[in-house]
Structure 1
Amino acid sequence: MTATTLALVGATGGAGTTRTAIELATIGVRDGRDVTVLDGDFVTQGLGEYVEGRISTDLTALVTDRTDDALTAAAYSPSGIADVDSPARLNVVPAHAPFERVARARTAEAAQAFERRIAEAASGADAVIVDVSPVASNEAIAAVTTVDRVIAVRPASPHGRDALQRLRGRIQDVGASVDATIAVTGTGGALADPDEERDADVVIPATDPAIAAAPTAATGDSAYTQAIASAYADLFGTTLGIDFEEEGLLSRLR
């Protein structure tokens, strides 16, 4: 089994990249697919916020001190995934390390080890998502040059559009390209802008950023969950078998 691998790259800070990665992975599991999410932002370490309980071994350890360990040594189940009615697995591999190890994990040698970890994840899952910061580090370069598809995540705003153009240039400089764009509405304090949404390949409405312990897409058929399902199908080039109830008139009016 070889998974399709995506790098979700934030065009700017606060674009909603990590939350989007978790939600996409959750909808994949809900459809019966094993999904692994890797933390490709060793500085922010945002993926760890979705792990319930103590993180012992993390991804930075696997690319520095514990390179002989299997990826499963740093794989955790995120909080809220138990709500999904599916036998499939969602493994989250976070970065959660002190500054000294983070510095060693950002070297060129560690980046090569990170590339191998992405390949290892792909050999044991149906889909792999790498959460990546704006491309300005060895680990980010390793991610965008290793995965099958690079997806830029930006706020649906003029600021997000400008940041996307800078990101395209950076990714092109390292020999890769942006394959699709996600516009997340309402992030970074931005108001919804229909013109900005039309320029994106996928549009995802904003959700409550305070809900970190339970991915919205785990259950139900809200407009947000349906947007995530549509995004998963588009980005992975697949068809999902999840049946959503059609929204009633009252819901559409709201």
Structure 2
Amino acid sequence: MPIPPRTTALVGVAGGAGTTRLTLELAAALATDGRDVAVLDAAFATQGLSDYVSGALDPDATSLVTDAADVPLESGLVDFETDTEGRVAVCPAAAPFERLARAMTPDAARAFEGRIAEAADSFDHVLVDAPLLASNQTVAAAAACDSVALVAPATDRGADAIGRLSARAADIGADIDAVVSTLGALGDADVIVPETEANDIADAPACRDDADLAAGVAAVAEVLLDVELDSVTAAGGVLTSVGEYVRR
């Protein structure tokens, strides 16, 4: 029997795709099911994951692949409050430009692969919040993770980017396991995550309260991780089938 994927890279195809938010919602959904989840930030330039936690980030994700490469990953993890049975621990990037540049080198990318493996030794699942396939650390994540998803907004720009990013993934020998559309449905998407009114950072995670969002996130877990999240759909009060959000 094949071993289900445990490490997943969620790669945004365009700005505004909601990749960071989807990654956190998926992590919270898995934690609702009692699983421990690590979220590693590969979006070094935008550093959006850091907006979801408070306090000093030292070491941050960029430090852990440069100056603090010998420091245990746990030192850079911050618990994301989810009120769930399982743990969600995030490792955001929060770096000055000088370190940001060093964190994007090939050597740092190899160190990032090692951090993914390190997280996999301690957590049930590892999710990587990744930007476009145009940086060394995203290429490293796509190569190191068991599954890779392209996250595309349900816009013309999102639809146009899917083919371009799929071809780029093929160039580096990475398989795309699913296309996830956010903010609505795209014709080429394998999974649909519907738009939600709970868009503010303070609202995250919202999948335990928003029935449609819960079903969409559960569908992502089913397609990418071969996991059925009955607990999160029950918590969200889902009245519709998760299958409605899976296109294949």
Whether these two folds match at TM > 0.5 is yes
- Asked if 2 retains the 8 angstrom alpha-carbon contact of 1:75 and 1:91, the reply is yes
1:172 to 160, 165, 170: 170
- Asked if 2 retains the 8 angstrom alpha-carbon contact of 1:3 and 1:125, the reply is no
CA spacing shift, 1:55–1:213, aligned 2, 3 Å: farther
Task: Tell me, yes or no, if structure 1 residue 234 matches structure 2 residue 223.
Answer: yes
Task: Tell me, yes or no, if structure 1 residue 122 matches structure 2 residue 124.
Answer: no
Which residue is 1:112 aligned to? 110
Letter in 2 for 1:204: V
Which residue is 1:188 aligned to? none
Name which one, 1 or 2, has greater alpha-carbon Rg.
1
Q: How does 1:19-168 map to 2 (within 5 A)?
A: 19-78=21-80, 80-81=81-82, 84-86=83-85, 88-168=86-166
Letter in 2 for 1:52: S
Letter in 1 for 2:194: P
What SS does the aligned partner of 1:59 have?
coil
Letter in 2 for 1:236: L
CA spacing shift, 1:104–1:209, aligned 2, 3 Å: farther
Instruction: Give the drift of 1:108.
Output: 0.6
What SS does the aligned partner of 2:79 have?
coil
Letter in 2 for 1:127: H
Letter in 2 for 1:154: A
Instruction: Give the drift of 1:239.
Output: 2.0
CA spacing shift, 1:72–1:223, aligned 2, 3 Å: same
Q: What CA distance in whole angstroms lies between the structure 1 residues aligned with 2:110 and 2:67? A: 14
Which residue is 1:252 aligned to? none
What SS does the aligned partner of 1:57 have?
coil
Q: What CA distance in whole angstroms lies between the structure 1 residues aligned with 2:40 and 2:195? A: 22
- Asked if 2 retains the 8 angstrom alpha-carbon contact of 1:30 and 1:218, the reply is no
CA spacing shift, 1:148–1:68, aligned 2, 3 Å: same
TM-score, normalised via structure 1 length = 0.86
CA spacing shift, 1:223–1:95, aligned 2, 3 Å: same
Q: Percent identity?
A: 43
CA spacing shift, 1:70–1:24, aligned 2, 3 Å: same
Q: How does 1:237-252 map to 2 (within 5 A)?
A: 237-242=226-231, 244=234, 245=237, 247=239
Instruction: Give the drift of 1:208.
Output: 3.9
Instruction: Give the drift of 1:218.
Output: 5.6
Instruction: Give the drift of 1:131.
Output: 0.6
Q: What CA distance in whole angstroms lies between the structure 2 residues aligned with 1:139 and 1:246? A: 37
Structure 2 unaligned residues grouped into runs of 5+: 241-248
Cα distance per residue 1:35-83 (max 9 Å; x no partner): 00000111111111111222221011110011111101110012x42xx
Cα distance per residue 1:142-176 (max 9 Å; x no partner): 11111011100001223211101110111111111
TM-score, normalised via structure 2 length = 0.88
CA spacing shift, 1:209–1:17, aligned 2, 3 Å: farther
Instruction: Give the drift of 1:3.
Output: 6.8
CA spacing shift, 1:157–1:3, aligned 2, 3 Å: closer
Task: Tell me, yes or no, if structure 1 residue 11 matches structure 2 residue 9.
Answer: no
Instruction: Give the drift of 1:232.
Output: 1.5
Structure 1 unaligned residues grouped into runs of 5+: 186-191, 249-254
